[in-house]
Amino acid sequence: AAGVIQSPRHLIKEKRETATLKCYPIPRHDTVYWYQQGPGQDPQFLISFYEKMQSDKGSIPDRFSAQQFSDYHSELNMSSLELGDSALYFCASSLGQGHTEAFFGQGTRLTVV
Amino acid sequence: QKEVEQNSGPLSVPEGAIASLNCTYSDRGSQSFFWYRQYSGKSPELIMFIYSNGDKEDGRFTAQLNKASQYVSLLIRDSQPSDSATYLCAVIAGGSYIPTFGRGTSLIVHP
């Protein structure tokens, strides 16, 4: 079965650079969530989209922005990167919101040097 | 207080034993509960979800939910070394659509 696809899998950027992470949800899933997971930490919710509209916002820095496109894929744009942004970034998708299971992509490992 | 609490472990059990993982949550209005397994450096993998009080079994896994006491647990029967991973509890609180994660419990199954 098709899963959530994230690209790239690994990304190395320098401080103050910009990065774009992409997420392709499971077909027919209309909800996308972005999470950030630092070493030894639990996934922290950043932002979510439902039917191409932002639905919830978590601990996403102002330097980050995201959107969901007409084909339901989502992109997380990260600017003015800092060393502390180094983490695993996961995208998850679900069918509908709330009382529903979310499935995670393989993640993008971002390293800021 | 974190919304979803888990003992970080590690929980060490011998192969073939039952592993019991616990999770408590603070929002009494929470409706949806999930268990994810995460291997080091990999993404969380959904293994169980439960919405109603009681037990839900799927193969070697049993999820137990007690809304009155605000806890959800995961039992793994006949534990295998391949079950060694971090188990994340996720809860969707009342009025929210977002799964909130606990810090996870590290499980070690030794031969």
Among the listed residues A88, A103, A102, the one whose alpha carbon sits nearest the alpha carbon of residue A42: A88
A28 falls in which pLDDT band (50, 70, 90)? Answer: very high
Tell me how crowded residue B103 is: count the other CB atoms within 10 A of its CB.
Answer: 18
Pairwise CB contact (< 8 Å): B41 & A88: yes
Option in A56, A90, A103 nearest B97 (CB)? A56
Name the token pair of A62: 């102002």
Give CA–CA dist B18/B49, Å, rounded.
Answer: 19
Render pLDDT for A73-109 as a digit per residue (tens, 0 to 9). 999 999 999 999 999 999 999 998 877 899 999 999 9
For residue A100, give the chain B residue with the closest CA. B32
In a mutational test of the A interface, the residue from B46, B56, B58, B98 whose CB has the highest number of chain A CBs within 10 Å is B98
Coil/strand/helix, residue B26: coil
Would you list the DSSP string of A79-91?
-S--GGG-EEEEE
Render pLDDT for B50-72 as a digit per residue (tens, 0 to 9). 999 999 999 999 999 999 999 99
Would you list the DSSP string of B34-97?
EEEEE-TTS--EEEEEE-SSEEEEETTEEEEEETTTTEEEEEESS--GGG-EEEEEEEE-TT--
- For chain A, what percent of residues have pLDDT higher than 70? 99
